[in-house]
Amino acid sequence: MPSFGMMIDGHSVAAADTFTVFNPADGSPVAEAPNATVADLDRAVAAAKAAFESWSRKTDAELQAACEAVTEAIGEHAEELAQLLTAEQGKPLNGLGSRWELGGAQAWAGYTAGLSLPMKVLQDNNEGRVELFRNPLGVVGSITPWNFPVMIAVWHILPALRTGNTVVIKPSPFTPLSTLRLVEIMNTVLPAGVVNAVSADDQHDNIGAAMSGHPDIRKIVFTGSCATGQKVMQGAAETMKRLTLELGGNDAGIVLPDVDPQAIAEGLFWGAFINNGQTCAAMKRLYVHDSVYDAVCDALVAYARNIPVGDGREEGSVLGPVSNLMQFDKVKRLVEDASGRGRVLLGGKPGDGLFFPPTIIADLTDDAPLVTEEQFGPALPIIRYTDIDAAIAQANASATGLGGSVWSADVASAHKVARRLECGSVWINKHGAIQPNAPFGGVKSSGVGVEFGEEGLAEYTDIQVVFS
C-alpha cells in the first residue's frame, strides 16, 4: 500500500506512526498517511518561521510570479490530484466532482496570484505625508475540511503566499492524501519551508488544538463546523492570533409564487445537492409558496430521480457516496426522523455501504431536526409557506448565517427579499455560486472574516501606517 509523508522544510518526512485512509465507495484502503505528533508540528512551524524571513522580503512582483508558478504546477498535476481526491473523498471524477474541483482550484490560484494590496497614500500635503502599508503576519496555520480538500487548501494557501506569509497546513484525517500531494507539488516551485504539511488522525495528539495555541503561528484560517471553530477561537485567544473562520451554515432558499417550477428545478437541485450536499454553502432547507408548492416539488423530484449515483471512479457517476461514516450516520438519523414527520418524495432509505440516495422530504415544519440542524448531506427538507414575512423570519431564525437564495421571475422583487436575509451571501435564482472576486463569509455563528478578493487577501496582513 502506498505511504505518504509530511512535507517539512522542503522534504518529505515520515512520521513515527501512520493511519489508513479508506475509499468511502467500497471501504478499500487507499494509502497510509503520516500521523504527526506535536513535535512534528513544531518542526514544521519552525521551518515556516525560518522561511518567512526571506519570503516576506520578496517584492510584490516576485510573490506574484511564485503564485503563478504554483498555479501552473497545479494544472500540470490536475488529473493525478483528481484521481487521488476521488479515491479518498468519494466524489465522482466528472460533473461537479474531482476534475471540476481541480479546475476551480487552478482558476482560484491564478486569480489570487493577480491580486495586490499596494501602499495607499492617506495624506500628502503641507502638514505631512501618511502612507498605509499591508504587512505579512508570519506563519499562517491552515486547518481544512474533508468536503473540498484541494480547493479549500488553495483558498487558504494562495492568499497567504501572495501576501508574503508562510504556511503550515493540516488537512482532515478523512482526506489527507490529496493535500499532502498538493503541498509536495507546490514545493517543487517554492523555496523550502514556505509551505509545510502535517496530517494526523487526532487520536493521540490533537494537532489542530496545538496549532490554535502555538505561539509562533500568527494566524489560523479554518474551514469546518461551528463547534470546532469555537474551539479554534478559544485556543487562539491567548496568543491574540488573527482568525478567518468559515464555519457551518443552514442556508435557506425561498421560492416566490411567480416562478416557473420547471425552469428552476435544475438550479434548486444543484443548489442543495452539489458535492452530495456536503457543502457549507449548499441549500439546506427550502421554503416554497403554497401556490406553487406541489408543482415545485414535482419538478424537483423529476429532475433528481435521473441523477446517477455510484462509485466516483466510474466515469458515469454524477453523485458518489457520503464521504465518511460519521456524516452518513448523521444524515441517516435526520432522514429517519423526518420520514416520520413529513412526506418522502424521493429516496429516504440508505443504500449499500456509505451510499445515500438524493432524498427530498416535503411537508415538514420548522421544528423538524432536518430543518433546524445542518444535515451536510444528500437530503433536502421542503417547507410550505403562505406569508413572505413569515418565511423570511423562519429563514433568519437560525444561529448561523452563511448563505441564502431567493427564486423568482421578478429579479427586483427577489432583490428586496434577498436584502432582508441575515447571511453573508445571497443568490437570486441560483445558490452557492461563489467566485474568486467576491468576498465570501458568514454572519452570526457562521464565522469570522471573509475569504476571496482584495477583502480576503487583506485578512492575511497587518496594517502599518507611516507618518512623515
| Closest by CA position to 278, among listed 328, 226, 348, 350 | 328
Give me the DSSP letters along 340-395.
Answer: TTSEEEE--S--STT----EEEES--TTSHHHHS---SSEEEEEEES-HHHHHHHH
Please give the single-letter amino acid code of residue 444: K
What's the CA gap between 166 and 186, in Å, rounded?
12
CA dihedral 9, 151, 63, 66 (to 10 degrees): 70
What value, to the nearest 5°, has the Cα angle with vertex 447 and ends 24 and 118? 110
Catalytic residue among 32, 246, 374, 451: 246
Query: To which residue does cell 512534528 refer?
Result: 40
| Closest by CA position to 285, among listed 423, 453, 88 | 423
For residue 280, indicate whether it is catalytic: yes
Reading the block at residue 218, the C-alpha cell is: 500568527
Pairing of strands 343-346, 283-289: unpaired
Catalytic residue among 67, 226, 280, 423: 280
Start-end of H helices in 77-217: 78-89, 98-113, 149-162, 177-186, 207-213
98-113 and 149-162 are packed helices; what angle lies between their axes, rounded to 10 degrees?
A: 10
- Say how far residue 202 (Cα) sits from the centre of its chain: 20
What's the CA gap between 362 and 285, in Å, rounded?
10
For residue 422, indicate whether it is catalytic: no
What's the CA gap between 151 and 153, in Å, rounded?
5
Q: Which residues are catalytic?
A: 246, 280
